[in-house]
Amino acid sequence: MENIIRVFYTDGQVINCARYGNGHINETYLLSTNHSHLYILQKLNKNVFPDCECVMDNIIAVTSHLKKKSNIIKQTLTLVPTRNGDLYYVTETGDFWRLYEFVNNSICLDSPESPDDFRQSAIAYGQFQNALADFPAETLNETISRFHDTPSRFEQLKCAVSEDRAGRVKTSRREIDAFFAREQEGAILAGLLQKGELPLRVTHNDTKLNNVMLDDVNRKPLCVIDLDTVMPGLVAYDFGDSIRFGASTAAEDEQDLEKVRLSIELFQVYSAGFLSECYSNLTTVEIETLPLGAKTMTLECGVRFLTDHLNGDIYFRTAYPTQNLIRCRTQLKLVEEMDKNWQEMNHIIQIR
Ligand code: ADP
Ligand code: GN1
Ligand code: MG
Protein backbone atom coordinates (compact mmCIF):
# COMPACT_ATOMS: atom_id res chain seq x y z
CA MET A 1 0.00 0.00 0.00
CA GLU A 2 2.77 2.42 0.94
CA ASN A 3 4.26 2.09 -2.53
CA ILE A 4 0.90 2.83 -4.14
CA ILE A 5 0.23 5.84 -1.91
CA ARG A 6 3.68 7.30 -2.60
CA VAL A 7 2.91 7.41 -6.33
CA PHE A 8 0.25 10.11 -5.83
CA TYR A 9 0.90 13.76 -5.17
CA THR A 10 -0.69 14.28 -1.75
CA ASP A 11 -0.87 17.39 0.39
CA GLY A 12 1.30 16.28 3.32
CA GLN A 13 2.36 12.82 4.41
CA VAL A 14 -0.23 10.08 4.58
CA ILE A 15 -0.53 9.01 8.21
CA ASN A 16 -3.54 6.75 8.02
CA CYS A 17 -5.09 4.40 5.46
CA ALA A 18 -8.17 2.28 6.18
CA ARG A 19 -10.83 0.37 4.22
CA TYR A 20 -13.86 2.57 3.69
CA GLY A 21 -17.48 2.62 2.50
CA ASN A 22 -20.08 0.01 1.58
CA GLY A 23 -19.58 -0.29 -2.18
CA HIS A 24 -19.95 -3.79 -3.65
CA ILE A 25 -17.37 -3.39 -6.40
CA ASN A 26 -14.13 -1.47 -5.89
CA GLU A 27 -11.58 -1.59 -3.06
CA THR A 28 -11.96 1.75 -1.33
CA TYR A 29 -9.64 3.32 1.29
CA LEU A 30 -9.78 6.56 3.24
CA LEU A 31 -6.42 8.30 3.50
CA SER A 32 -5.55 11.13 5.87
CA THR A 33 -2.41 13.22 5.89
CA ASN A 34 -0.51 15.15 8.55
CA HIS A 35 -2.03 18.30 6.96
CA SER A 36 -5.51 16.94 7.82
CA HIS A 37 -6.23 16.42 4.13
CA LEU A 38 -8.56 13.50 3.30
CA TYR A 39 -8.52 11.41 0.13
CA ILE A 40 -10.32 8.39 -1.28
CA LEU A 41 -7.95 5.80 -2.76
CA GLN A 42 -9.50 3.09 -4.95
CA LYS A 43 -8.35 -0.05 -6.67
CA LEU A 44 -10.66 -0.74 -9.58
CA ASN A 45 -12.22 -4.16 -9.76
CA LYS A 46 -10.68 -5.59 -12.93
CA ASN A 47 -12.93 -8.62 -12.76
CA VAL A 48 -15.94 -6.31 -13.17
CA PHE A 49 -14.36 -3.82 -15.57
CA PRO A 50 -12.56 -5.71 -18.34
CA ASP A 51 -10.94 -2.51 -19.62
CA CYS A 52 -10.08 -0.18 -16.72
CA GLU A 53 -8.46 2.33 -19.09
CA CYS A 54 -11.86 2.81 -20.76
CA VAL A 55 -13.38 3.44 -17.32
CA MET A 56 -10.77 6.06 -16.48
CA ASP A 57 -11.07 7.75 -19.90
CA ASN A 58 -14.83 8.09 -19.35
CA ILE A 59 -14.36 9.51 -15.86
CA ILE A 60 -11.77 12.04 -17.01
CA ALA A 61 -14.06 13.21 -19.84
CA VAL A 62 -17.24 13.28 -17.75
CA THR A 63 -15.72 15.05 -14.74
CA SER A 64 -14.12 17.71 -16.93
CA HIS A 65 -17.53 18.31 -18.55
CA LEU A 66 -19.30 18.44 -15.18
CA LYS A 67 -16.78 20.92 -13.78
CA LYS A 68 -18.01 23.43 -16.37
CA LYS A 69 -21.57 23.09 -15.05
CA SER A 70 -21.23 24.83 -11.70
CA ASN A 71 -24.51 26.61 -12.52
CA ILE A 72 -26.30 23.25 -12.25
CA ILE A 73 -24.29 21.12 -9.82
CA LYS A 74 -22.32 22.02 -6.74
CA GLN A 75 -19.30 19.68 -6.82
CA THR A 76 -17.70 17.10 -9.10
CA LEU A 77 -15.34 14.26 -8.25
CA THR A 78 -11.72 15.41 -8.53
CA LEU A 79 -8.94 13.02 -9.49
CA VAL A 80 -5.60 13.69 -7.78
CA PRO A 81 -2.62 13.28 -10.14
CA THR A 82 0.38 11.06 -9.60
CA ARG A 83 3.82 12.60 -9.22
CA ASN A 84 4.21 11.99 -12.97
CA GLY A 85 1.08 13.99 -13.70
CA ASP A 86 -1.07 10.99 -14.66
CA LEU A 87 -4.64 10.75 -13.40
CA TYR A 88 -4.35 7.09 -12.42
CA TYR A 89 -1.66 4.52 -11.76
CA VAL A 90 -1.25 1.06 -13.27
CA THR A 91 0.87 -1.44 -11.33
CA GLU A 92 3.18 -4.01 -12.90
CA THR A 93 0.46 -6.62 -12.38
CA GLY A 94 -2.09 -4.49 -14.25
CA ASP A 95 -4.06 -3.18 -11.27
CA PHE A 96 -5.56 0.30 -11.71
CA TRP A 97 -5.43 2.70 -8.77
CA ARG A 98 -6.87 6.20 -8.53
CA LEU A 99 -7.01 8.89 -5.89
CA TYR A 100 -9.96 11.25 -5.40
CA GLU A 101 -10.26 14.34 -3.27
CA PHE A 102 -12.52 13.42 -0.36
CA VAL A 103 -15.85 15.26 -0.58
CA ASN A 104 -15.55 17.20 2.67
CA ASN A 105 -18.38 18.00 5.07
CA SER A 106 -20.59 15.43 3.42
CA ILE A 107 -22.69 12.43 4.39
CA CYS A 108 -23.28 9.26 2.44
CA LEU A 109 -26.38 7.24 3.41
CA ASP A 110 -27.32 3.59 2.96
CA SER A 111 -30.93 4.46 3.71
CA PRO A 112 -32.62 7.85 3.91
CA GLU A 113 -32.90 9.23 7.44
CA SER A 114 -35.89 11.31 6.34
CA PRO A 115 -38.00 11.61 3.17
CA ASP A 116 -36.21 14.87 2.48
CA ASP A 117 -32.82 13.09 2.29
CA PHE A 118 -34.29 10.94 -0.46
CA ARG A 119 -35.78 13.98 -2.21
CA GLN A 120 -32.33 15.62 -2.17
CA SER A 121 -30.73 12.54 -3.74
CA ALA A 122 -33.38 12.70 -6.48
CA ILE A 123 -32.51 16.35 -7.08
CA ALA A 124 -28.82 15.39 -7.28
CA TYR A 125 -29.45 12.72 -9.92
CA GLY A 126 -31.88 14.97 -11.81
CA GLN A 127 -29.28 17.75 -11.93
CA PHE A 128 -26.65 15.21 -12.98
CA GLN A 129 -28.91 14.20 -15.86
CA ASN A 130 -29.28 17.84 -16.92
CA ALA A 131 -25.59 18.61 -16.62
CA LEU A 132 -24.76 15.76 -19.00
CA ALA A 133 -27.57 16.48 -21.48
CA ASP A 134 -25.10 18.14 -23.86
CA PHE A 135 -22.27 15.63 -23.39
CA PRO A 136 -21.39 13.82 -26.64
CA ALA A 137 -22.67 10.36 -25.72
CA GLU A 138 -21.01 8.67 -28.70
CA THR A 139 -17.56 9.46 -27.25
CA LEU A 140 -18.20 7.36 -24.13
CA ASN A 141 -16.87 3.82 -23.79
CA GLU A 142 -19.25 1.03 -22.79
CA THR A 143 -17.43 0.10 -19.56
CA ILE A 144 -19.55 -3.01 -18.98
CA SER A 145 -21.14 -4.47 -22.06
CA ARG A 146 -24.97 -4.67 -21.99
CA PHE A 147 -25.00 -3.41 -18.41
CA HIS A 148 -28.74 -2.76 -18.21
CA ASP A 149 -29.82 -5.04 -21.03
CA THR A 150 -32.29 -7.03 -18.94
CA PRO A 151 -32.91 -9.85 -21.50
CA SER A 152 -29.17 -10.43 -21.65
CA ARG A 153 -29.08 -10.59 -17.82
CA PHE A 154 -31.71 -13.36 -18.04
CA GLU A 155 -29.48 -15.17 -20.57
CA GLN A 156 -26.59 -14.95 -18.09
CA LEU A 157 -28.86 -16.47 -15.44
CA LYS A 158 -29.73 -19.31 -17.83
CA CYS A 159 -26.01 -20.00 -18.33
CA ALA A 160 -25.38 -19.95 -14.60
CA VAL A 161 -28.21 -22.43 -14.03
CA SER A 162 -26.97 -24.82 -16.69
CA GLU A 163 -23.34 -24.63 -15.54
CA ASP A 164 -24.21 -24.82 -11.81
CA ARG A 165 -20.59 -23.97 -10.99
CA ALA A 166 -21.09 -23.69 -7.23
CA GLY A 167 -23.57 -26.55 -6.94
CA ARG A 168 -26.24 -24.17 -5.64
CA VAL A 169 -29.01 -24.66 -8.23
CA LYS A 170 -30.75 -27.32 -6.15
CA THR A 171 -31.15 -25.00 -3.18
CA SER A 172 -32.14 -21.97 -5.30
CA ARG A 173 -34.92 -23.54 -7.40
CA ARG A 174 -37.72 -21.43 -5.96
CA GLU A 175 -35.89 -18.17 -6.73
CA ILE A 176 -34.81 -19.34 -10.21
CA ASP A 177 -38.41 -20.22 -11.13
CA ALA A 178 -39.76 -16.96 -9.68
CA PHE A 179 -37.39 -14.86 -11.81
CA PHE A 180 -38.02 -16.80 -15.01
CA ALA A 181 -41.78 -16.36 -14.53
CA ARG A 182 -41.08 -12.65 -15.02
CA GLU A 183 -38.72 -12.87 -17.98
CA GLN A 184 -41.15 -11.34 -20.49
CA GLU A 185 -42.09 -8.54 -18.16
CA GLY A 186 -38.39 -7.82 -17.70
CA ALA A 187 -37.96 -7.36 -21.46
CA ILE A 188 -40.60 -4.64 -21.99
CA LEU A 189 -38.29 -1.67 -21.42
CA ALA A 190 -35.58 -3.15 -23.65
CA GLY A 191 -38.27 -3.70 -26.32
CA LEU A 192 -39.28 -0.03 -26.23
CA LEU A 193 -35.65 1.00 -26.60
CA GLN A 194 -35.21 -1.35 -29.53
CA LYS A 195 -38.31 0.04 -31.26
CA GLY A 196 -36.89 3.55 -30.94
CA GLU A 197 -39.61 4.73 -28.57
CA LEU A 198 -37.16 5.80 -25.90
CA PRO A 199 -34.08 7.98 -26.43
CA LEU A 200 -30.61 7.02 -25.23
CA ARG A 201 -29.07 9.65 -22.99
CA VAL A 202 -25.93 9.88 -20.88
CA THR A 203 -26.94 8.19 -17.63
CA HIS A 204 -25.20 7.24 -14.39
CA ASN A 205 -26.59 3.69 -14.32
CA ASP A 206 -25.82 3.01 -10.64
CA THR A 207 -27.94 5.57 -8.82
CA LYS A 208 -27.93 4.09 -5.34
CA LEU A 209 -28.44 6.50 -2.49
CA ASN A 210 -24.87 5.78 -1.33
CA ASN A 211 -23.52 7.07 -4.64
CA VAL A 212 -24.52 10.63 -3.82
CA MET A 213 -22.95 12.84 -1.16
CA LEU A 214 -25.18 15.29 0.72
CA ASP A 215 -24.04 18.36 2.62
CA ASP A 216 -23.74 17.34 6.28
CA VAL A 217 -25.24 20.62 7.52
CA ASN A 218 -28.09 21.52 5.16
CA ARG A 219 -28.35 18.00 3.65
CA LYS A 220 -28.57 19.39 0.12
CA PRO A 221 -26.84 17.63 -2.83
CA LEU A 222 -23.08 18.09 -2.92
CA CYS A 223 -21.66 15.55 -5.35
CA VAL A 224 -22.64 12.49 -7.39
CA ILE A 225 -19.91 9.84 -7.08
CA ASP A 226 -19.14 6.35 -8.47
CA LEU A 227 -18.94 7.34 -12.13
CA ASP A 228 -17.59 3.98 -13.37
CA THR A 229 -20.80 3.13 -15.22
CA VAL A 230 -21.65 6.50 -16.78
CA MET A 231 -22.66 5.41 -20.28
CA PRO A 232 -25.48 5.90 -22.76
CA GLY A 233 -28.68 4.57 -21.16
CA LEU A 234 -32.33 5.24 -20.38
CA VAL A 235 -33.56 7.79 -17.86
CA ALA A 236 -35.74 4.97 -16.51
CA TYR A 237 -32.57 3.10 -15.49
CA ASP A 238 -31.41 5.96 -13.27
CA PHE A 239 -34.85 6.66 -11.83
CA GLY A 240 -35.51 2.95 -11.39
CA ASP A 241 -32.28 2.01 -9.65
CA SER A 242 -32.73 4.82 -7.11
CA ILE A 243 -36.23 3.54 -6.26
CA ARG A 244 -35.02 -0.06 -6.05
CA PHE A 245 -32.43 0.83 -3.42
CA GLY A 246 -33.77 3.87 -1.61
CA ALA A 247 -37.56 3.42 -1.56
CA SER A 248 -37.29 0.00 0.06
CA THR A 249 -38.08 -0.06 3.78
CA ALA A 250 -35.22 -2.50 4.40
CA ALA A 251 -31.61 -3.13 3.47
CA GLU A 252 -30.72 -4.92 0.25
CA ASP A 253 -29.68 -7.96 2.31
CA GLU A 254 -32.50 -8.00 4.87
CA GLN A 255 -33.28 -11.61 5.80
CA ASP A 256 -36.76 -10.94 7.18
CA LEU A 257 -38.83 -10.35 4.06
CA GLU A 258 -41.72 -9.04 6.16
CA LYS A 259 -39.62 -5.93 6.63
CA VAL A 260 -39.12 -5.40 2.89
CA ARG A 261 -41.78 -3.07 1.54
CA LEU A 262 -41.96 -0.39 -1.12
CA SER A 263 -42.50 2.95 0.58
CA ILE A 264 -45.03 4.80 -1.56
CA GLU A 265 -44.18 7.96 0.32
CA LEU A 266 -40.51 7.62 -0.67
CA PHE A 267 -41.53 6.78 -4.24
CA GLN A 268 -43.62 9.94 -4.35
CA VAL A 269 -40.92 12.10 -2.83
CA TYR A 270 -38.25 10.80 -5.22
CA SER A 271 -40.49 11.24 -8.24
CA ALA A 272 -41.26 14.83 -7.28
CA GLY A 273 -37.58 15.68 -6.65
CA PHE A 274 -36.29 14.02 -9.82
CA LEU A 275 -38.96 15.45 -12.10
CA SER A 276 -38.64 18.93 -10.58
CA GLU A 277 -35.15 18.97 -12.11
CA CYS A 278 -35.55 17.23 -15.45
CA TYR A 279 -39.27 17.05 -16.31
CA SER A 280 -39.05 19.58 -19.13
CA ASN A 281 -36.24 17.68 -20.88
CA LEU A 282 -38.04 14.34 -20.95
CA THR A 283 -40.41 12.92 -23.55
CA THR A 284 -43.91 11.77 -22.57
CA VAL A 285 -42.96 8.12 -23.06
CA GLU A 286 -39.86 8.58 -20.89
CA ILE A 287 -41.99 9.97 -18.08
CA GLU A 288 -44.67 7.29 -18.46
CA THR A 289 -42.08 4.50 -18.28
CA LEU A 290 -40.44 5.63 -15.02
CA PRO A 291 -42.45 3.15 -12.87
CA LEU A 292 -41.54 0.41 -15.37
CA GLY A 293 -37.90 1.47 -14.90
CA ALA A 294 -38.24 0.88 -11.15
CA LYS A 295 -39.69 -2.58 -11.64
CA THR A 296 -37.25 -3.55 -14.38
CA MET A 297 -34.15 -2.41 -12.46
CA THR A 298 -35.31 -4.29 -9.35
CA LEU A 299 -36.01 -7.45 -11.32
CA GLU A 300 -32.70 -7.14 -13.18
CA CYS A 301 -30.68 -6.57 -10.02
CA GLY A 302 -32.33 -9.61 -8.45
CA VAL A 303 -31.40 -11.66 -11.52
CA ARG A 304 -27.80 -10.41 -11.22
CA PHE A 305 -27.59 -11.31 -7.50
CA LEU A 306 -29.00 -14.78 -8.17
CA THR A 307 -26.65 -15.32 -11.12
CA ASP A 308 -23.69 -14.39 -8.93
CA HIS A 309 -24.89 -16.71 -6.18
CA LEU A 310 -25.03 -19.60 -8.67
CA ASN A 311 -21.61 -18.69 -10.07
CA GLY A 312 -20.05 -18.81 -6.59
CA ASP A 313 -20.02 -15.07 -5.68
CA ILE A 314 -17.48 -13.88 -8.19
CA TYR A 315 -18.91 -10.41 -8.93
CA PHE A 316 -20.50 -8.62 -5.93
CA ARG A 317 -18.56 -8.37 -2.68
CA THR A 318 -20.17 -10.72 -0.13
CA ALA A 319 -19.68 -11.17 3.60
CA TYR A 320 -21.15 -14.71 3.83
CA PRO A 321 -22.06 -17.49 1.37
CA THR A 322 -25.82 -16.91 1.05
CA GLN A 323 -25.71 -13.10 0.92
CA ASN A 324 -26.38 -12.89 -2.82
CA LEU A 325 -29.31 -15.32 -2.48
CA ILE A 326 -30.75 -13.18 0.30
CA ARG A 327 -30.21 -10.06 -1.79
CA CYS A 328 -32.08 -11.62 -4.72
CA ARG A 329 -35.01 -12.44 -2.41
CA THR A 330 -35.38 -8.83 -1.28
CA GLN A 331 -35.45 -7.76 -4.92
CA LEU A 332 -38.18 -10.32 -5.70
CA LYS A 333 -40.19 -9.13 -2.71
CA LEU A 334 -39.84 -5.53 -3.89
CA VAL A 335 -41.06 -6.46 -7.38
CA GLU A 336 -44.14 -8.04 -5.77
CA GLU A 337 -44.62 -4.88 -3.75
CA MET A 338 -44.47 -2.87 -6.97
CA ASP A 339 -47.17 -5.10 -8.47
CA LYS A 340 -49.38 -4.30 -5.51
CA ASN A 341 -48.72 -0.58 -5.77
CA TRP A 342 -48.63 -0.40 -9.56
CA GLN A 343 -51.67 1.84 -10.06
CA GLU A 344 -50.56 4.19 -7.33
CA MET A 345 -47.02 4.43 -8.74
CA ASN A 346 -48.34 5.27 -12.20
CA HIS A 347 -50.82 7.74 -10.79
CA ILE A 348 -48.05 9.57 -8.90
CA ILE A 349 -46.02 9.92 -12.10
CA GLN A 350 -49.03 11.00 -14.19
CA ILE A 351 -50.28 13.76 -11.91
CA ARG A 352 -46.98 15.60 -12.28
P1 ADP B 1 -18.13 1.12 -5.40
O2 ADP B 1 -18.11 1.10 -6.90
O3 ADP B 1 -17.42 -0.02 -4.81
O4 ADP B 1 -19.53 1.30 -4.92
P5 ADP B 1 -17.72 3.94 -4.74
O6 ADP B 1 -16.96 4.80 -5.70
O7 ADP B 1 -19.18 4.11 -4.71
O8 ADP B 1 -17.28 2.41 -4.98
O9 ADP B 1 -17.11 4.22 -3.30
C10 ADP B 1 -17.51 3.48 -2.15
C11 ADP B 1 -17.89 4.43 -1.02
O12 ADP B 1 -16.76 5.27 -0.70
C13 ADP B 1 -19.02 5.41 -1.35
O14 ADP B 1 -20.29 4.84 -1.14
C15 ADP B 1 -18.72 6.56 -0.39
O16 ADP B 1 -19.15 6.25 0.92
C17 ADP B 1 -17.20 6.58 -0.36
N18 ADP B 1 -16.64 7.55 -1.34
C19 ADP B 1 -16.27 7.30 -2.61
N20 ADP B 1 -15.75 8.41 -3.20
C21 ADP B 1 -15.78 9.39 -2.26
C22 ADP B 1 -15.34 10.76 -2.22
N23 ADP B 1 -14.76 11.34 -3.28
N24 ADP B 1 -15.53 11.46 -1.07
C25 ADP B 1 -16.10 10.88 0.02
N26 ADP B 1 -16.51 9.59 0.05
C27 ADP B 1 -16.36 8.85 -1.07
C1 GN1 C 1 -23.06 -2.34 -7.43
O2 GN1 C 1 -20.74 -0.25 -6.97
P3 GN1 C 1 -22.01 -0.20 -6.20
O4 GN1 C 1 -21.96 -0.93 -4.89
O5 GN1 C 1 -22.45 1.24 -6.08
C6 GN1 C 1 -23.30 -2.55 -8.92
C7 GN1 C 1 -24.69 -2.05 -9.29
C8 GN1 C 1 -25.74 -2.78 -8.47
C9 GN1 C 1 -25.43 -2.58 -6.99
C10 GN1 C 1 -26.35 -3.37 -6.12
C11 GN1 C 1 -20.63 -1.73 -11.43
O12 GN1 C 1 -23.09 -0.96 -7.14
O13 GN1 C 1 -24.93 -2.27 -10.67
O14 GN1 C 1 -27.02 -2.29 -8.76
O15 GN1 C 1 -24.07 -3.00 -6.67
N16 GN1 C 1 -22.28 -1.87 -9.71
C17 GN1 C 1 -21.69 -2.49 -10.74
O18 GN1 C 1 -26.25 -2.92 -4.82
O19 GN1 C 1 -22.01 -3.62 -11.11
MG1 MG D 1 -20.86 2.87 -5.06
Q: What is the pLDDT of residue 314?
A: 97
Q: How many alpha carbons lie under 13 Å from residue 162 in its C-beta half-sphere?
A: 5
Provide the whole-model pTM.
0.96
Q: Is 160 in the pocket of ligand 2 (CB under 6 A)?
A: no
Residues 60-67 have a mean pLDDT of: 97
pLDDT at 228 over 90: yes
- The percent of residues in the chain predicted with pLDDT above 70, rounded, is 100
Q: Given a cut of 90, is residue 252 above it in pLDDT?
A: yes
Amino acid 340: pLDDT: 98
Walk me through the domains of the chain, giving residue ranges and CATH numbers. 2-102 (3.30.200.20), 115-351 (3.90.1200.10)
Q: Please give the pLDDT value at position 75.
A: 96
Closest residue to atom 22 of ligand 1, CA basis: 102
pLDDT (mean) for 326-330: 98
| Per-residue model confidence (pLDDT) at position 352 | 64
Q: Residue of the nearest CA to atom 5 in ligand 2?
A: 23
Residue 148 confidence (pLDDT): 98
Summarised one tens digit per residue, pLDDT across range 170-219 is 999 999 999 999 999 999 999 999 999 999 999 999 999 999 999 999 99
Average pLDDT in the 101-123 region? 97
pLDDT of residue 80: 98
Q: Residues 289-302: what's their mean pLDDT?
A: 98
d(CA 319, CA 216): 29
Q: Measured in angstroms, how far is the CA atom of residue 213 from the centroid of ligand 1?
A: 9
Tell me what the pLDDT averaged over the chain comes to.
97
Confidence of residue 261 (pLDDT cuts 50, 70, 90): very high
- What is the model's pLDDT at position 351? 77
Identify the pLDDT of residue 201. 96
Quote the ligand 1 centre to 223 CA distance (angstroms).
11
Q: Note the pLDDT tens digit of each residue in 4-63.
A: 999 999 999 999 999 999 999 999 999 999 999 999 999 999 999 999 999 999 999 999
Pocket test for ligand 1, best of 225, 245, 315 (most atoms within 8 A of CB): 225
